Structure 1
Amino acid sequence: MMARPAAFLCLLLLWPVVSSSTYTNMTMPGCKETCGNTSIPYPFGLDDPKCFRDQAFRLVCNTSFDPPMLSFPEDNIPILDISLLQGEATALIWVAKDCNDSSSNSPPDGVRAQGQEMKDAGVTVQINLTEGFKFSNTRNKFTAIGCNMEAFMSDYVNPNGFQSGCSSVCGNITNVINGSCSGIGCCQTSIPRGLDTFQVKLQSNSYDDSNCSYAFLVKDEWFSFMESDIWDFIGRVPYKFGNQTGTPVVLEWKIGNQTCGDSSLQVNYACRDNTECINSTSGSGYLCHCKNGYHGNPYLPHGCQDIDECKNATHDCEGSCVNTLGSYNCTCPEGTVGDGYNYKVNGTGCTPISKSNKVLHITLGPSTSSSLLSRFEFDDNRSGGTDEGYRCSYRNR
């Protein structure tokens, strides 16, 4: 017996789909997922070459710290977080500190940045990022704190590269305002796009109003100046390793040096199933995102899994929700009509069907043989959810 169209549609809607809850892995099989409190999603990885895409994404886990510290292998800059969606990583850069005492400004053993130096007469800090990473010019600010001090930032690899800086005075300590970093106790300036190396020079001209001066690159939304920073900025920074303090910065990363169009033709194209390619905004290269309706790791085989909108309540159904691969459908329950979608998304919702009979009037006439007017009635007397109960009648008038 041929299945009714309605029954066949139900079979299609109930066809099994892959649930997102069955897949949570963000690394290659057999690879370490975390270092201390930091997750390590592929294309990043540790040790075994199968765990990272290429050398640009190889990281190390320094277990001499408690908890262990994730960092780049060459410069030992600590990594706090990695975002696949944004193509960003949050790292720590050491604070340059110039104080009127004998306190050391040297980073602890094992965490000195490549080429990093500290000098007693004024302070110079030099940072060189691992290839492929850049300091975000939209998320970071060069910042200095102190009274009667000057801080300069420049490209130490290229003498003819960029130079920037700011100065801060206090005059009277009562002039310092919380939340204001415009030259009284605190100053800030932007950095250029594509920056991957810099040096900071910090010079205090006097210690009459503050014991220390500080200069550092910092994630813009993390830092808000407080009057007490003039006396003890280091004391309120939570990121410390040994006797050294670091401020969080945002690094940008990407895959390769080609656009999506060129890279998609290569055998080592990074974007896998159910993904889309996004050209990097920080220069050549690209990122991979899961398509709408999918989530997970777009760099892993089968890493982007279907989102079951019906289970996590992210759907717009007023009626019943039926999950499909990459999407979902809304249906109205028995006894109602409509498309099942909420009015907020321009749907028609589900409206109860009136219990009275529905009569379809079809009037015929006049014909070539007579002026007879005929009427057919289609009467819906269904009950119990079956297709039986339709009645057609013919009336003359």
Structure 2
Amino acid sequence: MSWSVLLFSVVAMAAAAALVVASGAAPAPIGKHGCETWCGEVSVPYPFGLGPERCSAAAGFQLTCDHGNTTSTRPGATTRPRLFLSDYRGFEIMEISVENRTVSGVSPTIFSNAAINSTIRRHMGFGDNRWKNTRPPSTSYLVATGCNVQVTLLFSTPAGTHSYTTGCSSSCSGSAMITDNDVRNYGVGFCTTPVVSYLASYTVELKRLAGNSTINNHLPVYVFIAEEGWFGPDRAVDLMNLGARRSRLKAKDDHLLVPLTLDWVCIHGSCNASVNANCTTLDNVCHCNPGYKGNPYLTDGCQDIDECMRPMDHGCFGECRNTQGSFNCWCSRGGNASQPNGCLNPTRKTGLIIGLSIATGASSILFFLGALLIIRKLKDHKADKLKQKFFNQNHGQLLQQLVSQRSDIGGRMIIPLKEIEKATNNFDQTRKLGGGGHGTVYKGILSDLHVVAIKRSNIMVQRESDEFINEVAILSQVNHKNIVKLHGCCLETEVPLLAYEFISNGTLSDHLHNESPKSISWSGRLRIVSEVGRAIAYLHSAVLVPIIHRDIKSSNILLDDAFTAKVSDFGASRYIPIDQTGRTETAVQGTIGYLDPMYYYTGQLSEKSDVYSFGILLVELLTRKMPTMYRTSAGDGLVAQFVELLEEGKLVDILDSQVVEEGCGEVEEVAALAASCIKLRGEDRPTMRQVEMALEGIQANKQLVLTDLGAERDEENYSTRTSLSLEEVS
């Protein structure tokens, strides 16, 4: 090789190196070294992977890239790579998000234009239930269109039997053909229900309902699972080919693709973490530390952010030097580098010296004022350091990372102490709403004009303080209309403060146990207890990590102006890890009278402990008697007296007179349900999902009876008016 060629090669290499430096560091890896990370235009970040097992974190994260299939079965369809969950071709992946832990894609309908003459069962899913890595979120819905059909989601047990999870039915009882206006205005021709079980695959059962007019049975029947907001009456009209748009839809119905977003989670320690990442012990959720970005599940996935490339975006308006995970910012001639134009220049410095010279005559006054200012600054600095100490002690940085990915709550979840003190007028006693074993509640108005109830908890032991971050993380993800919403929290005090939405109409206990001879109507009580049951069933089975409330009672059920129930006070609540199927041993907490006796004597907490407390709430609504206070002349409590009278057929002796007056046969059904909930052994009690479904069935039957009675009254009134008219003519 000649010297000229060698010199040229060296210069070229130097130029290339300079180009790399100028353009910044290489992009952070998204997958393991040597593993494929793209399928067509869809990226595949770790813990997901393609090909060898080492490229993914667990079996549930293994994906398949199909390079040979077309986008559709229609003629002329183009070929492109398609990404699937392992060998499950019923769900095509369009996007994977590490930050939000979601997998977005589309799936075909489970049933399309189904001809139903008998019961049909079909498998559908997004993976193997053994893996538990991907599953529909609690905001997805099971949908069925058509008339006189019932669809049920079944879970196959290891024994080969099927267990019911959820379902819905669509009935069309009229004698005329339904129209698009009937679908839009009255909600006939379709049904929807939330998918509340965290499973990856199901057996779907579809059958025709008998007993109704068959004139609408020809309408197309579709069954699918869709994300919230995609399906509505207008889409039902389209699928059933009703209205003016029917002609152009016939060709596309059999190829309908439904958008759906799945949640994914690392379980049993299946995912590792980057050296610059933090992970929760709850469900192994990882985020890069402040000052780093990238994939937190890869060993070298979180890489340093060079803030000095764009210093003003990071609040630096002076000299900047990048460091690992942070940066240094200063003014070379003094001043405040964190403020625009905060650094001093020579002209400004000279002006300052001249100003001080002119003010020499007032130096003693300035010295005195300066001393006061310094003392105040020292006090403020000490207070700020104490706030920061409590903030770090309460895992504030980790909570910031957890909520920062949620655009709907990230900006408001962490509330400064100064705002809490202003909202409550420094915890003025006139703002006090009440108190209990877990703390005191104050009313306050935040700067965004939200009216909130601020809970100031009692002093916690260190173990409870360590668990606080997990509990707030859970509550921040709970989203149910019958559960009081967590608006935010303050971590700058020794014991964290929680701010919930303010519910103005008091508690269920306030309305039941007052001096008035009349309380909430029986139908209102039935609706309220159904809403409470729905909320507790959601906590047990619909959230990512099941939650045991542990203190269900009428004084913890808040009512808004429309008498909608809101379950509150999660101070005693505990979560159950995903892989835990047994009971949790813990210090006994709760309210005597509502407390599960088996939990009280053994310390073994389970979801059936909430079922017992809910059963006591049912008894309280039926009798309007306080479980904590009621005693018979023989010394028996409310539970013993209720069960004894129910078995003897003398239930009316203990029922509230208003319930006897307004109730019908459903009162005995509710009483029987209450008795099953308060059985001594937890394994003999139903689950909250079974209780919820039983109450919904009771409500539906009651509504059907009321509808029939209303129709009979209308017919009687019509006959009476006709007779009067004939007499007047005569």
- Normalising by structure 2, report the TM-score: 0.37
Match 2:163 to one of 137, 160, 164: 160
Distance 2:106 2:295 in 1: 25
- Normalising by structure 1, report the TM-score: 0.63
Distance 1:186 1:310 in 2: 57
Q: What whole-Å deviation, never above 9, does each CA across 1:124-178 have from its counterpart, x for those lacking one?
A: 3312422223423423111223344433223244523423223254964222328
Tell me what 2:50 maps to: 46
**1:356 pairs with 2:355:** no
Residue type of the alignment partner of 1:200: V
Q: Aligned-pair distance for 1:100?
A: 7.3
Aligned residue for 1:155, secondary structure, equals: strand
Q: What whole-Å deviation, never above 9, does each CA across 1:263-290 have from its counterpart, x for those lacking one?
A: 5xxxx8601211010345xxxx423221
**1:124 pairs with 2:137:** no
Gap change, CA 1:333 and 1:46, over 3 Å in 2: same
**1:256 pairs with 2:267:** yes
1:1-397 maps to which residues of 2 (within 5 A)?
21-65=25-69, 66-77=79-90, 78-99=92-113, 121=118, 123-128=120-125, 129-130=127-128, 131-157=131-157, 158-167=161-170, 169=172, 172-173=178-179, 174-177=181-184, 183-203=187-207, 206=214, 208=216, 211-226=219-234, 227-231=237-241, 244-257=255-268, 270-279=272-281, 285-311=283-309, 314-319=313-318, 322-332=321-331, 337-341=335-339, 349-350=342-343, 353=348, 355-356=350-351, 358=353, 359=356
Gap change, CA 1:209 and 1:37, over 3 Å in 2: farther
* Structure 1, unaligned runs of 5 or more: 1-16, 102-118, 258-262, 343-347, 364-397
Distance 1:59 1:176 in 2: 40
Q: Aligned-pair distance for 1:186?
A: 3.4
Distance 1:46 1:355 in 2: 66
Q: Aligned-pair distance for 1:60?
A: 1.4
Aligned residue for 1:97, secondary structure, equals: coil
Q: What whole-Å deviation, never above 9, does each CA across 1:351-373 have from its counterpart, x for those lacking one?
A: 7736425147999xxxxxxxxxx
Residue type of the alignment partner of 1:292: P
Q: Aligned-pair distance for 1:319?
A: 4.8
Distance 1:220 1:57 in 2: 25
Aligned residue for 1:89, secondary structure, equals: strand
Aligned residue for 1:25, secondary structure, equals: coil
Contact 1:98-1:204 within 8 A present in 2 as well: no
Q: Aligned-pair distance for 1:42?
A: 1.5
Residue type of the alignment partner of 2:184: I
Gap change, CA 1:255 and 1:166, over 3 Å in 2: same
Contact 2:94-2:105 within 8 A present in 1 as well: yes
Aligned residue for 2:221, secondary structure, equals: strand
More strand by share: 1
Q: What whole-Å deviation, never above 9, does each CA across 1:176-214 have from its counterpart, x for those lacking one?
A: 328xxx843432211224223322233466574874121
Distance 1:20 1:139 in 2: 41
Aligned residue for 1:276, secondary structure, equals: strand
Tell me what 2:439 maps to: none
Percent of aligned pairs with the same residue?
26
Q: Aligned-pair distance for 1:216?
A: 0.8
Distance 2:33 2:314 in 1: 32
Distance 1:229 1:351 in 2: 69
Distance 1:170 1:290 in 2: 57
Tell me what 2:610 maps to: none
Contact 2:46-2:297 within 8 A present in 1 as well: yes
Aligned residue for 1:201, secondary structure, equals: strand
Distance 1:187 1:58 in 2: 34
* Structure 2, unaligned runs of 5 or more: 1-20, 70-78, 362-730
Residue type of the alignment partner of 1:230: M
Aligned residue for 1:231, secondary structure, equals: coil
